[in-house]
Amino acid sequence: MTTTQNFNTWLTCPQPNPEAKLRLFCFHYAGGGALIFRNWSYYFSSSIELCAVELPGRGKRLREPAYTKMKPLIQALSLALDSYLDKPFVFFGHSMGGLVSFELARQLRREYGFTPQHLFVSGCRAPQIPDPDPPIHQLSNSEFIEQLRRYNGTPEAILQNKELMDLLMPCLRADFAVLETYNYQYEPPLNCGITAFNGSADQQVNQADMLAWEDQTGADFYLKTIAGDHFFIHSHQSLLLQFISEEITSILMALIR
């Protein structure tokens, strides 16, 4: 694989660092974008280069059609990240990002024999557990917006802004389509450790959903509960990043030995 520091449209690197020992790839939730990770680099040492993934249909890629199926999305991501897997790496994904990062890890294992040093998943039920909620991506606009309120991740001012919602709706519907048409296929567990984070007041994903991630690893598994609802990634960001930083530091120490 080749090395490049010209980050493509799929990746945003707030603080590019060719000398980093490890890359942390971050995958956003449904309707989100790379911008949610804009200040994360400050929490990590200079040995870590943070790469935030930006899926089509949002942010700087707003004019690109968003993916509506998991398989082609994962295939495209595998190609996009190819040049950035020249050093050890870890994945973090929240909600939809957790599922995307998991499927990408399996794809990279199949294609290249590569596996992340560690997989961090938060607010995302284990892939083998079916979604108990009925699909919403094909609901009328008013019904779809009402369902979005349940997640408590979109400010009410935005939900009530018709022009803004008209702009965001295609991306949101596409992301939910990716999740709601996903079909889990069994493969052997990953050989990297998995740390799962769940919000103590998360109404969408419960602790049992997160504990089931243990079945997806043949290595160490950890479950950490953080106060907050489904979007504790924002309300308790510092604590979440403290946990991630501690684990990555342990990984770096093991790599140096």
Of the residues 41, 46, 47, 95, only one is catalytic, namely 95
Could you give the CA distance from residue 197 to residue 209 in angstroms, rounded to a whole number? 11
- If residue 119 lies in a helix (H) or strand (E), which one and from where to where? strand 118-122
* Number of Cβ within a 10 Å radius of residue 170: 15
| Nearest C-alpha neighbor of 170 from the set 144, 147, 131 | 144
Residue 95 designated active-site:
yes
Burial of 248 (0-12, 13-18, 19+ CB in 10 A): buried
Q: Which amino acid is at 120?
A: F
The CA-atom distances, in angstroms, between 66 and each of 30, 100, 116, 151 are: 11, 14, 26, 21
Q: Are 226 and 94 in contact (CB under 8 A)?
A: no
Residue identified by tokens 């709601």 is 180
Q: Which residues are catalytic?
A: 95
